[in-house]
Amino acid sequence: MELDIQCEEMSPSRWAELLSTMKSCKTIRLDDCNLSSSNCKDLSSIINTNPSLTELKLNNNELGDAGIEYLCKGLLMPSCSLQKLWLQNCNLTSASCETLRSVLSAQPSLTELHVGDNKLGTAGVKVLCQGMMNPNCKLQKLQLEYCELTSDIVEALNAALQSKPTLKELSLSNNTLGDTAVKQLCRGLVEASCNLELLHLENCGITSDSCREISAVLSNKSSLIDLSVGDNKIGDSGLALLCQGLMHPNCKIQKLWLWDCDLTSASCKDLSRLISTKDTLTEISLIDNNLRDLGMEMLCQALKDPKSKLQELWIRECGLTTACCKAVSSALSVNKHLKVLHMGENKLGDAGVELMCEGLLHPNCNIQSLWLGNCDLTAACCATLATIMATKQCLTELDLSYNSLEDEGVRKICEALRNPSCNVQQLILYDIFWSSEVDDELRALEESKPEVKIIS
């Protein structure tokens, strides 16, 4: 049994009602429910008396250090079988880390700990690392985003990594680590016995100076399949260094996030080689890089390579125009693997989308999710988009937000949604202005096709 409640104010009567339900739940999710330390007393009792409870999510509640102390009393009981604990943005400080250290040391069932967006600080996380080093600790996933960590944390993290072969996922994004610390961390990861699968280092103050060491992790750890270094100013020179590791035969990368990394079209030669030859790579994000049409044309050439197995391409806000859309169309008509294409916030225009639709209509194209928000579109391209919606049964999600479609364009899209051949389940139309008559049509459409979700 699963309890999943979000964004609900808890009255005493409602809380009492839920407590009786929780006694038999395997998963409890109470995110954004205005819980406090007093609720943690009850939750501690549930943890102690419900041996089937394996997952507890309490994100975005003001639990505080006092609440965690109550919670951990239940977590420390021998009857506790909890495996996954989410405490993101719960107003915790370093004071909670001593209590959580005890849980890590004593509770081998706990495999996931998510404590991001709490002011734990370097001192607090050093205490958590002591718990990780206990032989009883079998932690596999550790999420420490926005924890106010500094470069001083790396020595403790490396010591924990050395002693914890079970660890598979480590997220340190949005902490001011800097190049020196990241290089030290990477050297530790190369030496560690853990088979790390996920490493997230977004917005960590990384430059091209760290990329040789990150590249060494990629070439030495074939287990690493998910790397995110977005929002770091690595530039074209850093990307070239990363690609040395990414192209290594040992590297089995599947998901690569490089958003807002100060890349230009100069990086697209290396990226194209990666896309066309690394058959494990299925998802890449290049959002908010100034790749421009020349760079996109190189990427499209790579997508046409039979060895490319890319399924998701995120290329939003990359300085693209109508000029690249013929190349995109050509790639779509050849590539059978691409399922998700994010091209929003590029000045493609109606003419560009008309060109893309030629590729989208090709039998080889299997796009499921297409994002074209804020692309300078008008009602002029909506008839063609409607044809895509009614013809391509693989298409289940379409985003046309922030475009001047007006009543005429929205009506054409609605007409396509009514078509029995249309399989679009989610239509996203943020910040598009239409009349009250069209609004009534949209509401009636949702009622007649409850499987369709129109988000506006």
Distance CA 390, CA 415 (A): 9
pLDDT for res 152:
96
Residues 138 and 185 in one domain: no
Q: What is the pLDDT of residues 95-121, one digit of tens each?
A: 999 999 999 999 999 999 999 999 999
Tell me, yes or no, whether 62 lies in a domain.
Answer: yes
How many other C-beta atoms are found inside a 10 Å radius of the C-beta of residue 431?
10
Residues 125 and 224 in one domain: no
Tell me, yes or no, whether 7 lies in a domain.
Answer: yes
Residues 115 and 202 in one domain: no
Tell me, yes or no, whether 99 lies in a domain.
Answer: yes
Q: What angle do CA 159, 118, 100 make, to 5 degrees?
A: 55
pLDDT for res 59:
98
- 219 and 245 in contact (C-beta within 8 Å)? yes
Tell me, yes or no, whether 173 lies in a domain.
Answer: yes
pLDDT for res 192:
85
Residues 184 and 138 in one domain: no
How many other C-beta atoms are found inside a 10 Å radius of the C-beta of residue 397?
16
Tell me, yes or no, whether 13 lies in a domain.
Answer: yes
Residues 12 and 124 in one domain: yes
* Number of domains comprising the chain: 2
Distance CA 139, CA 253 (A): 23
Residues 123 and 15 in one domain: yes
Rounded (10°) CA dihedral 244, 176, 164, 223: -20
Distance CA 296, CA 286 (A): 11
Tell me, yes or no, whether 317 lies in a domain.
Answer: no
Residues 203 and 119 in one domain: no
Tell me, yes or no, whether 32 lies in a domain.
Answer: yes
CATH number of the domain that residue 131 is part of = 3.80.10.10
Q: What is the pLDDT of residues 136-194, one digit of tens each?
A: 999 999 999 999 999 999 999 999 999 888 999 999 999 999 999 999 999 999 988 88
Residues 107 and 205 in one domain: no
Does the pLDDT value for residue 269 go beyond 90?
yes
The domain boundary, picked from 148, 182, 216, lies at 148
The domain boundary, picked from 116, 148, 180, lies at 148
User: Mean pLDDT of all residues in the chain?
Assistant: 96
What is the pLDDT averaged over residues 34-51?
A: 93
pLDDT for res 99:
95
Distance CA 72, CA 92 (A): 13
pLDDT for res 193:
85
Phi, psi angles (nearest 5°) of residue 6: -135, 145
Domain extent at residue 234 = 167-256
Residues 188 and 94 in one domain: no
As to burial, measured by CB atoms within 10 angstroms (0-12 exposed, 13-18 middle, 19+ buried), residue 45 is middle
Does the pLDDT value for residue 10 go beyond 90?
no
- 257 and 228 in contact (C-beta within 8 Å)? yes
Distance CA 10, CA 36 (A): 10
11, HSE (Cβ side, Cα atoms, 13 Å)? 3
Per-residue CA distances from 288 to 87, 205, 239, 284, 446 (Å)? 30, 17, 15, 13, 34
- Tell whether pTM > 0.75: yes
169-171/198-200 β-pairing: parallel
Q: What is the pLDDT of residues 379-390, one digit of tens each?
A: 999 999 999 999
Residues 136 and 5 in one domain: yes
The domain boundary, picked from 200, 221, 256, lies at 256
Residues 31 and 122 in one domain: yes
Residues 124 and 175 in one domain: no
Tell me, yes or no, whether 412 lies in a domain.
Answer: no
Q: What is the pLDDT of residues 280-302, one digit of tens each?
A: 999 999 999 999 999 999 999 99
